[in-house]
Amino acid sequence: MRKILVSITTTRGSDWRAKIKEIRKLGLKEVALFPTCFKKEEREKLYRLLQKAGIKNIPFVHIRNDMAPAELDYLIEKFKAKVFNIHTNTEYPFIYDYSLKHRKMIFIENVYDPFNEKEIRKFGGICLDMTHLEDDRLLHPEKFRYNVGVLERNKIGCNHLSCMQKVLRRDFEDVSWRYDSHVLVKLSQMDYLKKYPRKYFSDTVAIELENTIETQLKVRNYLIKKMGL
């Protein structure tokens, strides 16, 4: 059964502390977690605050290349993590060897480079970020066609869902121009998902937005009831 998870993100525009307060207020016990912009000491503080807020399950975590296998073990034991995603070794060279214990739990995200199928097959498969795929469809058609071919041959183990805007923007690292956004203004910004086959959506889906948890819950309801995810 597919899980669509609200998320705590740590990008520059995300008030993660406010989200933790919302979680406590709403009595939520389960979220996805994106400690993408935090170093080790900041992550440890985040984990402690999540425990105090009553979070019991974090099924999906976006890990970084500086996260040791022991930290993954902690997330599995303390928060019942089941799925991890990571950026490619080309983008952020791996510091640790995840092959002994966690290999099948880790999925490679599509970001700037075309898929490296050899790398994907060393891990559990693909973390398909749907806005990155849509950006490629609109802006990089050759890369899009290649990646679609790779999707047909490999397991999609998890997804990120952000929204699309109509105006090109430069991303926070000034790497490329994109239409995707982590800030949703209206629910129809999720409608681009309708053009993609349901087989592209895994059983573990994280809403990757900087919006409040309350707004993310509305997005989840929209995705389930209006779009049939």
Local confidence pLDDT in tens for the 229 residues of the chain:
899 999 999 988 899 999 999 999 999 999 999 999 999 999 999 999 999 999 999 999 999 999 999 999 999 999 999 999 999 999 999 999 998 899 999 999 999 889 999 999 999 999 999 999 999 999 999 999 999 999 999 999 999 999 999 988 876 665 678 899 999 999 999 999 999 999 999 999 999 999 999 999 999 999 999 889 9
Q: Please list the helix, strand and coil fractions of the chain in percent, rounded to the nearest 5, in that order.
A: 40, 20, 40
Give the CATH fold of the 3-225 domain: TIM Barrel (3.20.20)
Residue 152: the pLDDT is 97
Residue 174: the pLDDT is 58
Q: Quick check: helix, strand or coil at residue 207?
A: strand
Residue 168: the pLDDT is 87
**Residue 62 corresponds to which tokens in the numbers above?**
């976006």
- One-letter amino acid at 93 equals P
Phi, psi for residue 85 in degrees, rounded to 5: -125, 160
Q: What does the alpha-carbon distance between residue 30 and residue 61 come to, in Å, rounded to a whole number?
A: 12
Residue ranges per structural domain of the chain:
3-225
Residue 55: the pLDDT is 97
What letter does residue 115 receive in the DSSP assignment? Answer: P
The strand pair at 177-181 and 163-170 is best described as: antiparallel
Using alpha carbons, select from 174, 147, 161, 144 the residue that is nearest to residue 202: 161
Q: What does the alpha-carbon distance between residue 219 and residue 134 come to, in Å, rounded to a whole number?
A: 18
Single pTM value for the model: 0.95
Q: 154: how many CB neighbours lie within 10 A of its CB?
A: 18
Which alpha helices (H) appear in the chain, and where do they start and end? Answer: 16-26, 40-52, 69-79, 117-120, 130-139, 141-153, 213-225
Residue 167: the pLDDT is 87
Using alpha carbons, select from 199, 203, 193 the residue that is nearest to residue 158: 203
Structural contact between residues 207 and 5, judged by C-beta atoms closer than 8 angstroms: yes
